[in-house]
């Protein structure tokens, strides 16, 4: 498989003094990795936490090997980042309450996508004209929506929309990582979108899908997404990564060859099994056949996070009101 084509950009927005978003793209033994982190805390050194997370994730995944599945390494890298951020203030780096979100996408040479995330930075898949959210926000408002307390239309303008339930660092008593337990097979023309909530909180998914549907090259689509977030107010830092893996579709002739080959293999196995049974004389075995095992490739989501107690840290010490959703 060729290396995925990608484009990325980050913008400070129109109302922030610093950009607390960080992103990185790098190669590791498992494939190519894409990461977006959104530092939280405003004056609590959110940009420091995001930088520590980026560096730690790269360090851990650069040491990955085939002894464990990719989701193990993704979880391990996020856990190491959480520990590094939590211990940094003891070394005089940052502040005790700094934290960050993180979303990781891994594209393997086998045309498979793996991902993991903590917080409200998102991963989307654009496939055949439709935008699919592969992650769910670990935020107070997202929990309200999932629990039926408020309708989705009220989420963006809710007064607690800037509060997270889970993050890397942030003086968390509870730390959980959500990761895909099985890979997603990549199809031709798939586009993956990683972004901070500076995009997803202000630009509707229908608008995002319209931009991704255009025939523009990836860098122009990235700029169009950034522009859409700025046009919606630019109330937060905005970071966008678009990834278009190179997957060669199976042509008709190749598909027919594969089908013919599988058919021949099946017939051969059947003949060998019959001959084996004849020569071994096992014509009436009373042992039942083993039950078949179904291998599902559908990702299973972990249970919704528990209702928040006092563990709701704001992503910015002076939150800016978010615009009403259209």
Answer with the residue of higher pLDDT: 247 or 21: 21
Assigned domain for 308 exists: no
Q: Is residue 322 part of a domain?
A: no
Task: Write b or e for each residue in 148-165: b if 16 or more Cβ atoms lie within 10 A of its Cβ, otherwise e.
Answer: eeeeeeebbebeebbbbb
Q: Residue 310 falls within a domain, yes or no?
A: no
- Assigned domain for 137 exists: yes
Structure confidence at residue 197 as a pLDDT band (50, 70, 90) = very high
| Total structural domains within the chain | 1
Q: Tokens in use for 248?
A: 């060669």
Is 232 a member of any domain? yes
Strands 102-107 and 31-40: antiparallel
Model confidence pLDDT, tens digit, residues 122-160: 999 999 999 999 999 998 888 888 887 777 766 767 767
pLDDT band at 84 (very low <50, low <70, confident <90, very high): very high
Q: How far apart are CA 67 and CA 287, in angstroms?
A: 36
Q: Residue 98 belongs to a domain with what CATH number?
A: 3.60.40.10
Pairing assessment for the beta strands 112-118 and 178-179 based on DSSP bridges? antiparallel
Q: What is the pLDDT of residues 275-324, one digit of tens each?
A: 344 333 443 333 333 333 333 333 333 434 444 443 444 555 444 433 33
Q: Is residue 76 part of a domain?
A: yes
Residue 221 lies in a domain: yes
Q: What is the mean pLDDT of the chain?
A: 80
Which pLDDT does position 1 carry in this prediction? 52
pLDDT in tens, 8-19: 999 999 999 999
Q: Count of H helices and E strands in the chain?
A: 7, 15
Residue 2 confidence (pLDDT):
63
């Amino acid at each position: 498989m060729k290396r995925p084509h990608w484009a990325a950009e980050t913008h400070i927005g129109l109302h922030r003094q610093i950009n607390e978003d960080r992103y990185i793209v790098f190669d590791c033994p498992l494939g190519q990795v894409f990461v977006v982190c959104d530092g939280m805390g405003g004056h609590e050194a959110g940009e420091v936490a995001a930088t520590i997370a980026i560096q730690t994730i790269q360090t851990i995944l650069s040491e990955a090997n085939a002894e464990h599945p990719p989701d193990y390494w993704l979880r391990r890298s996020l856990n190491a980042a959480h520990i590094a951020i939590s211990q940094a203030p003891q070394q005089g780096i940052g502040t005790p309450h700094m934290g960050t979100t993180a979303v990781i996408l891994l594209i393997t040479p086998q045309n498979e996508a793996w991902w993991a995330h903590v917080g409200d930075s998102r991963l989307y898949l654009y496939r055949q004209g439709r935008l699919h959210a592969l992650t769910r926000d670990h935020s107070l408002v997202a929990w309200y929506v999932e629990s039926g307390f408020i309708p989705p239309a009220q989420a963006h303008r809710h007064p607690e929309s800037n509060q997270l339930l889970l993050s890397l660092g942030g003086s968390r008593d509870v730390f959980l990582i959500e990761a895909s337990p099985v890979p997603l097979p990549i199809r031709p023309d798939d586009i993956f979108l990683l972004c901070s909530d500076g995009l997803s909180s202000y630009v509707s998914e229908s608008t995002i899908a319209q931009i991704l549907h255009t025939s523009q090259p990836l860098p122009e689509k990235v700029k169009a997404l950034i522009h859409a977030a700025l046009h919606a107010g630019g109330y937060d830092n905005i970071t966008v990564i678009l990834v278009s893996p190179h997957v060669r579709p199976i042509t008709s002739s190749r598909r027919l060859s594969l089908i013919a080959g599988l058919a021949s293999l099946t017939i051969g196995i059947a003949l060998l099994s019959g001959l084996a049974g004849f020569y071994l004389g096992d014509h009436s075995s009373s042992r039942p056949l083993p039950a078949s095992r179904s291998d599902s490739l559908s990702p299973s989501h972990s249970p919704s996070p528990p209702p928040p107690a006092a563990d709701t840290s704001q992503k910015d010490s002076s939150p800016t009101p978010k615009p009403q959703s259209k």
